[in-house]
Structure 1
Amino acid sequence: MNLQPYLDFTQELAAAAADVILPYYGKTDCGLESKDDDSPVTLADRGAEEVMRAMIEKKFPGHGIVGEEYGTQNADAEWVWILDPIDGTKSFIAAVPLFGTLIGLLHNGKPVVGCVNQPVLNQLLLGDNETTTLNGKKVCVRPTTKISESLLLTTDPIRPHKVHDGAAYDKLASKARTVRTWGDCYGYLMLSSGWADIMLDPILAAWDLLPVLPCLQGAGVTVSSWDGTPIAEFDAARGGDKMFTCIASAPAIHSEVVDILNGRA
């Protein structure tokens, strides 16, 4: 399967989204509102997704789209785009450049192309399950073999206590060399490009995870659900409503990370 045309188009989508997002960055007047789940949304989120959807509908009218802001259309198509215009909106509205635009492409429900674009820092992570590049340069996870030497990332250290075994998370965190909340999609960018060793997401939506999987796998990262089982496949019937969990790490420490988080070590 030749994915290059889709990789090229993904970069076009990322650039178009960045053109919408950047004028709002660092501005207090960004149209901030709260959605039904109390999460923030801005004019930048909505405008970026609108632009990407219009581009996809024009170039690939038969493709499906699942987006955080404007929902699902044709989710049972052979090719489906997954869009999160700003992953890390809380960082974005605080002028912290640890957010990004997530773009993924599924073929028959499986992620085959993924992108994390951080427009402020001008960093574009692009993957196809085989190779991952950062601004065109091939990258990979670093070969960490001990948790005691690891940099562990998670978006919010309170969340594991809310939805999983908080004490087990604390045990893992105590074993890591360094723990930081450089999370959301930027944590996966750091992991894939060799600047971190563990990234944890105790709960996340399809548009938060599926676009990063081809980047992680192309960079040699080991990925699983919180219980160590493989990441569940996309469910077209549920679209963006299905929730996921994710443990992503350097291969040599992954099984130990899973065991600690599940109270087995």
Structure 2
Amino acid sequence: MASRDDLQLAQRLADAAGDAIRPFFRARFDIETKGDLSPVTQADRAAEAAMRSILEKERPQDGIIGEEYGNVREDAAHVWVLDPIDGTRSFIAGRPIFGTLVALMQEGWPVLGLIDQPISRERWIGRTGDATTLNGQPIRTRPCRALDQAILASTGPQYFPGCTGEHFSILAGQCRDAVWGGDCYNYALLATGHVDIVAEAGLKLYDIAALVPVVEGADGHMCDWQGNPLDRDSKGDVVAMGDIARMDDILEALAHGHEGH
């Protein structure tokens, strides 16, 4: 379980990332394309560098897994997982629905997660054993009686290749409505009771780790598309739900597409 010191450190990491990001928001900055064709900016790199500097000074024995600067000591018992800007495309477009993700994993499992939106200054914190908070106030997901009452959120249908996209389309077709864009901000909205389901494919550990404690500490649930819990070895096809009573319906739609067809 994450300690109070861990929690305070995670918040200081997010503070440092936010200080690095804000000067670049809706400003002119360099944009590069990485090997996987995803964009990266000066703000991404500055924010991760700021967080890693603090960790190397204060927790030199802990591991770090980061999107921009790679992994060190990843076999340590305590590993910090960092995504300085989850939603770089939104950041580039001037949309304040990206977020900084900070997670602490112990023995391969996420025990502390933080989603920070540095422009609106909204901060969601989840810690195993505690209720998730938004700016210090406890929050929880909302009930969902049936899929046809659900709002589904996802970054975008273009990120679902092949049959994965077909299965996702079946789920989307059974929901009341679907909204696109948002990356980690969708999971924060689910934890706060505004969205019912988030489904995505092909995520990396730094995209996922911080989300799990936030969603589950708000009485939601996260798993892979087969219903397995998410850990260091998960392959990245994930679904979050505000009401675990809908789990069988969601997984059936994703796996087979039998529901309603």
TM surpasses 0.5? yes
Structure 1 residue aligned with 2:232: 234
Q: Structure 1 residues 128 and 164 mapped into 2: Cα distance closer, same or farther (>3 Å)? A: farther
* Contact kept in structure 2, 1:33 and 1:41, CA below 8 Å: yes
Aligned mates of 2:107, 2:166 — CA distance in 1: 39
Q: What per-residue deviation string (whole Å, max 9, x for no partner) do you get for residues 32-63 of structure 1?
A: 11111111000100000001001011111111
Task: Name the SS for the 2:23 alignment partner.
Answer: helix
Look up the match of 2:78.
79
Share of identical aligned residues, percent?
Answer: 38
How has the CA–CA distance of structure 1 residues 211 and 2 changed in structure 2, closer, same or farther, with 3 Å as cutoff?
closer
Which residue in the other structure is 1:24 paired with? 24
Q: Look up the match of 1:154.
A: 154
| 2:125 is aligned with 1:123 | no
Question: Structure 1 residue 77: deviation in Å?
Answer: 0.7
Match of 2:6 in 1: 6
- Other structure's SS at 2:157 match: coil
Match of 1:36 in 2: 35
Label 1:164 to 1:7 Cα distance change in 2 as closer, same or farther (>3 A). farther
Instruction: Tell me what 2:247 maps to.
Output: 254
Cα-to-partner distance string for 1:17-40 (whole Å, 9 max, x where unaligned): 00000110011x211111111110
Change in CA separation of 1:75 and 1:165 when aligned onto 2, cut-off 3 Å = closer
- What secondary structure does 2:71 align onto? strand
Cα distance, 1:247 vs structure 2: 0.8
Q: Is the 8 A contact 1:129 1:216 kept in 2?
A: no
Indicate whether 1:48 and 2:47 are aligned. yes
TM-score normalised over the length of structure 2: 0.94
Q: Is the 8 A contact 2:156 2:181 kept in 1?
A: no
Distance 2:226 2:2 in 1: 34
Contact 2:151–2:197 (8 Å) recurs in 1: yes
Structure-1 residue corresponding to 2:171 = 172
Once superposed, which parts of structure 1, at least 4 consecutive aligned residues long, lie more than 6 Å away?
Answer: none
TM superposition score normalised by structure 1: 0.92
Secondary structure at 1:204 match in 2: coil
Match for residue 244 of structure 1 among 236, 242, 250: 236
User: Which structure 2 segments of 5+ residues have no match?
Assistant: none
Q: Work out the CA distance in 1 between the residues paired with 2:37 and 2:110.
A: 29
User: 2:54 and 2:9 mapped to 1: Cα distance?
Assistant: 9
Once the two structures are TM-superposed, the CA of residue 147 in structure 1 deviates from its matched residue by 1.1
Q: Secondary structure at the match of 1:158?
A: helix
Tell me how far apart the structure 2 counterparts of residues 146 and 2 of structure 1 sit (CA, whole Å): 35
Kindly tell me the number of residue pairs found equivalent between the two proteins: 256
- Alignment-mate amino acid for residue 234 of structure 1: R
Residues 2, 111 of structure 2: 8 Å contact kept: no
Cα gap change, 1:182 to 1:145, in 2 (>3 Å): farther
Q: CA deviation at 1:258?
A: 0.7
Q: Structure 1 regions of 5+ residues with no counterpart? A: 236-241
Provide the C-alpha distance between the structure 2 equivalents of 1:212 and 1:7, rounded to a whole number of angstroms: 15
Q: Cα deviations across residues 128-184 of structure 1 (Å, max 9, x unaligned)?
A: 133210000111111112111111001011333x14343332232122111101431
Q: Residues 224 and 163 from structure 1, CA distance in 2 versus in 1: closer, same or farther, beyond 3 angstroms?
A: farther
Q: 1:56 to 1:253 in 2, by over 3 A?
A: same
Q: State the Cα deviation string for residues 174-223 of structure 1 (Å, max 9, x = none).
A: 22111101431001100111110000111100000011111111111121
Task: Report the CA distance shift for 1:150/1:206 in structure 2 as closer, same or farther (over 3 A).
Answer: same
